[in-house]
């Protein structure tokens, strides 16, 4: 039996066990389990000691442990290292390697929704772990310009440096709400990578409605609710909207691909997984 887990601090709400079991069912894998493990940061080290000697075959990592696990690994994929966030760990023998499949999941969702990155202008709201994954995906995709808006300007500055390290030709502008609104007509796609608007705080949005217009795409990493206040503001102004569910599903499928090998993404019906999850979230 292969054993997998999601590691976080508070995971009562997590849909990941249901999602992973649905992936294993589609792949007709009946000897794999997936469970949640809730741990405070002080207990990470002892968990990884057990993981390394066979306690699990692979783990996903979520808030607040994505950076804290890095010193406990033997190797970290170059993109995960740049982002300073690992959300997937694979064990081969006693060796643990960290990856970031949020980046792959975000890029997958952009492709599926025909959002072109090359030469396009993006705005990222937020500068935490997921904003870094989004930013590197956009920089690798040869985005032309990225506007950054974040509550703490120093975190936006760190994110700007990460983008420049990933691709020096991307123009990066750190801005306030008013400056972002001034450039709204230049923006092809605005991404909410903050937790603002996540259930239960469903009436909140990290931006003012004046930012949206019908020529832009609005992508919210949040998937609870499926239509956040941010996406509702965008819809009300005629923008195309994408929620975070497809990204969530894709990052999970990419994790399974890392753990089990083979071209799993091509053999899984991701749309069916999204539809099933939608029913459980609504
Ligand atoms: P994180 O590392 O904790 O970063 C949170 C970001 O939100 C920071 O930029 C923070 O700003 C900002 N923020 C938090 N509260 C705020 C407030 N009240 N006002 C303004 N800004 C605020 O979290 P994360 O891992 O990046 O996750 C962010 C969101 O993405 C979460 O909702 C998470 O569920 C979602 N997510 C979705 C997927 C998916 O697959 N769909 C994957 C990963 C994450 P400061 O820098 O000022 O603290």
Residue 37 confidence (pLDDT): 97
Better-scored residue on pLDDT, 282 or 281: 281
Q: Is the pLDDT of residue 120 over 90?
A: yes
Q: Is the pLDDT of residue 13 over 80?
A: no
Rounded percentage of the chain residues whose pLDDT exceeds 70: 100
Q: Is the pLDDT of residue 12 over 90?
A: no
Structure tokens at 233: 């503001």
Q: Is the pLDDT of residue 282 over 70?
A: no
Beta bridge partners of 241: 218
Of 264, 261, 230, 255, give the one whose Cα is nearest residue 244: 230
Q: Is the CB of residue 131 below 6 angstroms from any atom belonging to ligand 1?
A: yes
Q: Is the CB of residue 195 below 6 angstroms from any atom belonging to ligand 1?
A: yes
**Ligand 1 centroid to 23 CA: how many Å?**
26
Q: Is the pLDDT of residue 134 over 80?
A: yes
Residue-wise pLDDT for 136-174, tens only, equals: 999 999 999 999 999 999 999 999 999 999 999 999 999
Residue-wise pLDDT for 240-263, tens only, equals: 999 999 999 999 999 999 999 999
Q: How far apart are CA 57 and CA 259, in angstroms?
A: 8
Q: What is the mean pLDDT of residues 53-82?
A: 96
Rounded percentage of the chain residues whose pLDDT exceeds 90: 98
**Ligand 1 centroid to 128 CA: how many Å?**
6
Mean pLDDT of the chain: 96
Please tell me the residue having the least CA distance from ligand 1 atom 37: 221
Residue-wise pLDDT for 175-226, tens only, equals: 999 999 999 999 999 999 999 999 999 999 999 999 999 999 999 999 999 9
Residue-wise pLDDT for 21-49, tens only, equals: 999 999 999 999 999 999 999 999 999 99
Active site residue 66: yes
Q: How far apart are CA 24 and CA 41, in angstroms?
A: 29
Q: Is the CB of residue 225 below 6 angstroms from any atom belonging to ligand 1?
A: no
Q: Is the CB of residue 194 below 6 angstroms from any atom belonging to ligand 1?
A: yes
């Amino acid at each position: 039996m292969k054993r997998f887990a999601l590691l976080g601090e508070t995971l009562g709400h997590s849909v990941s066990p249901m999602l992973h079991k649905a992936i294993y069912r589609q792949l007709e894998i009946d000897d794999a389990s997936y469970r949640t493990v809730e741990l405070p940061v002080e207990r990470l080290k002892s968990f990884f000691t057990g993981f390394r000697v066979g306690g699990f075959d692979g783990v996903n990592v979520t808030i607040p442990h994505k950076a804290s696990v890095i010193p406990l690994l033997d190797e970290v994929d170059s993109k995960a290292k740049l982002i300073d966030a690992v959300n997937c760990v694979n064990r081969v023998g006693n060796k643990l390697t960290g990856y970031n499949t949020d980046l792959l999941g975000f890029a997958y969702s952009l492709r599926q929704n025909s959002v072109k990155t090359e030469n396009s202008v993006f705005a990222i709201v937020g500068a935490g772990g997921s904003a870094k994954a989004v930013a590197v995906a956009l920089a690798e995709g040869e985005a032309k310009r990225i506007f950054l808006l974040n509550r703490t300007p120093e975190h936006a500055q760190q994110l700007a440096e990460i983008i420049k390290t990933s691709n020096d030709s991307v123009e990066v502008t750190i801005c306030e709400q008013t400056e972002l609104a001034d450039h709204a007509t230049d923006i092809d796609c605005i991404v909410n990578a903050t937790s603002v608007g996540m259930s239960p705080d469903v009436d909140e949005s990290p931006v003012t409605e004046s930012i949206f217009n019908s020529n832009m795409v609005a992508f919210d990493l949040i998937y609870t609710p499926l239509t956040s206040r941010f996406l509702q503001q965008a819809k009300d102004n005629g923008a195309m909207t994408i929620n975070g569910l497809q990204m969530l599903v894709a990052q999970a499928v990419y994790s399974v691909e890392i753990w089990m090998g083979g071209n799993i993404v091509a053999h899984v019906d991701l749309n069916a997984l999204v539809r099933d999850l939608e029913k459980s979230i609504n």
